[in-house]
Amino acid sequence: MKEICTELARLAETDKAALAGELKRQFIERYGGDPSGVRLFFSPARINIIGEHIDYNGGKVFPAAIDRALYLAIRKRSDSKIVYDDLRFPGEFSFDINDSFSYKKENDYCNYLNGILKILKDRGHTPDTGFEALFFSSIPAGGGISSSSALECGFAYALCSLYGFDVSRIEIAKIGQQSEHEFMNVKCGIMDQFIIAMGRKDNAMLLDCDTLEYEYVPFDAADYRFVVMNTNKKRQLADSKYNERRSECMQALELIQAEMRAKGKTPIQNLCGLTLEQFNEYKDCLHSPVLEKRARHCVTENARVLQAAQALRANNLDELGKLLEASHVSLRDDYEVTGIELDTLFEQARKIPECKGARMTGAGFGGCAIALVHKDAVDHFIEQVQQAYTQKIGYAASFFACSIGDGTGVLAENA
């Protein structure tokens, strides 16, 4: 099984048509029957270039879908049975389309799938048959580049295509987020699902998470690549710490709103609605150095996102790099979501002259960082950072250079 996964990962990078053929072959080997009804889909991972932990504070974010993806093959059955299998974790899980799905620990990754099914059904989109699905992914699991949102959005998109449900990409993103909130109990923002459903090749996306207005910004820095650096840290308690940060922000918002009302002002709707000036005026009402730091991160990070989009439009990578670093420092000191592993990657990356800037990406507490590196120096960069990281942390990180790719879609067999 391991050899098949290695081969599929190789094909994912080199030959999409061959990947499609091999995935279909694996599907028929597992489930038998006729290949003509098998449909193939992909759903990418994402990096967030800048704008961290502010999507749930009504802020602006600047993510991009990348060329690492989850792949899935799916076919309708004639009965009401549902069967899931994954080439990386072989073993079938079965359910029935008429089940009333609920979270169960023993259902492992299928919880993400059942959550999507439940929400689609609640919204009146009930598949009229069962189906069988086979998954493969080249996204590091639990690595902070959103393997779970790739799964949610890819699966929702596949079901909507297979059964002809008229659900827009933006609705698919919202269904993914709703499933995280209600089924998985992670109170995430909308960024990951939105960029995964809506990503566009060679473009980053400036997304206003308050209004969901978005704009594509071309990434045409031809000589530079984003290198993803995975700490390989086992993430424990990441979800509960994430929810804790979210509720700290909510507390800060409520205190500032109350103070604004007391002063006869119209209260802000979310923390990122504060200007830096207003933050300085109101911070004392928080009566807590911790809440003050959390709010400061939101306000300064939101401003950095707009500057970063501007820097990219002007192809000013020196400026973009500085903003990435300021973002990391704020996440380390004010938001406190980095940790020694991410900080080590950050410190080592910025020592390499061909690196314009680096920062953690995603939720933090382990997971991944990104670095903007000259394409000719990528191998040297990885070697240097790996060496220093392993020496300090005691185990190796993983690295790959990525390109910016499209959002969730059909995996073409004749690509």
The interface with ligand GLA within residues 133-152 (CB under 6 A) comprises 146
Cβ of residue 234: shortest distance to ligand GLA, in angstroms?
A: 17
Binding flag, residue 132, ligand GLA (CB under 6 A): no
Among residues 24, 53, 297, 374, the one that binds ligand GLA under rule CB under 6 A = 53
Cβ of residue 73: shortest distance to ligand GLA, in angstroms?
A: 26
From 29-37, 188-196, 212-220, 383-391, span contacting ligand GLA (CB under 6 A): 188-196
How far is the C-alpha of 170 from the C-alpha of 23, rounded, in Å? 28
* Annotated catalytic residue, options 55, 85, 192, 343: 192
End-to-end CA distance of the chain: 25
Q: What's the token pair of residue 89?
A: 């974790």
Cβ of residue 53: shortest distance to ligand GLA, in angstroms?
A: 4
DSSP 263: T
From 23-31, 186-194, 260-268, 309-317, span contacting ligand GLA (CB under 6 A): 186-194
Among residues 134, 191, 272, 370, the one that binds ligand GLA under rule CB under 6 A = 191
Contact 72, 116 (CB under 8 A): no
How far is the C-alpha of 44 from the C-alpha of 65, rounded, in Å? 6
For 345, how many CA atoms within 13 A lie in the half-sphere containing its CB? 31
Cβ of residue 10: shortest distance to ligand GLA, in angstroms?
A: 28
The interface with ligand GLA within residues 192-211 (CB under 6 A) comprises 192
Binding flag, residue 56, ligand GLA (CB under 6 A): yes
Ramachandran quadrant class, 124 (left: phi over 0; alpha: psi -120 to 50; beta: rest): left
Binding flag, residue 301, ligand GLA (CB under 6 A): no
Q: What's the token pair of residue 256?
A: 């500032």
Determine whether 192 is an active site residue: yes
How far is the C-alpha of 309 from the C-alpha of 317, rounded, in Å? 11
Strands 131-137 and 81-86: parallel
Binding flag, residue 271, ligand GLA (CB under 6 A): no
Binding flag, residue 227, ligand GLA (CB under 6 A): no
Contact 157, 176 (CB under 8 A): no
Binding flag, residue 362, ligand GLA (CB under 6 A): yes
> In Å, how far are 7, 94, 153, 290 from 178, measured between CA atoms?
35, 23, 11, 29
Binding flag, residue 369, ligand GLA (CB under 6 A): no
Binding flag, residue 334, ligand GLA (CB under 6 A): no
Phi and psi (nearest 5°) for 181?
A: -65, -50
Q: Nearer Cβ to ligand GLA, position 48 or 348? A: 48
Binding flag, residue 115, ligand GLA (CB under 6 A): no
Q: What's the token pair of residue 405?
A: 């790719």
Among residues 55, 67, 85, 132, the one that binds ligand GLA under rule CB under 6 A = 55
CA-CA-CA-CA torsion for 282, 188, 145, 105, nearest 10 degrees? 140
The residues assigned a catalytic role are 192
Q: What is the binding site for ligand GLA (CB under 6 A)?
A: 48, 52-53, 55-56, 146, 188-189, 191-192, 362-363
